[in-house]
């Protein structure tokens, strides 16, 4: 749950002081993400890791 919050904070939420997201300020991405972009990333991750044991995915 915290990962989703931090992903939103860094990629979707525009900050008042910088006028961009932290990910845009750090040049990680060049566009403002929408919630649908976050959902796509999570769905892609789930599809690529289907059947994997979560301990294996998180601790390679």
Residue boundaries of the structural domains of the chain:
2-58
For residue 53, the model assigns a pLDDT of 61
* Mean pLDDT, range 49-53, rounded to an integer: 71
Mean pLDDT of the chain: 86
pTM exceeds 0.85: no
Integer Cα distance of 1 and 57 in angstroms: 17
Contact present, 14 and 21 (Cβ < 8 Å): yes
Average pLDDT of span 30-54: 86
């Amino acid at each position: 749950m915290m990962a989703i919050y931090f992903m939103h904070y860094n990629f979707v939420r525009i900050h008042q002081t910088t006028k961009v997201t932290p990910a845009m300020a750090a040049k990680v991405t060049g566009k403002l993400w929408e919630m649908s972009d976050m959902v796509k990333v999570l769905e892609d991750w789930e599809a690529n890791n289907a059947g994997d044991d979560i301990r294996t995915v998180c601790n390679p």
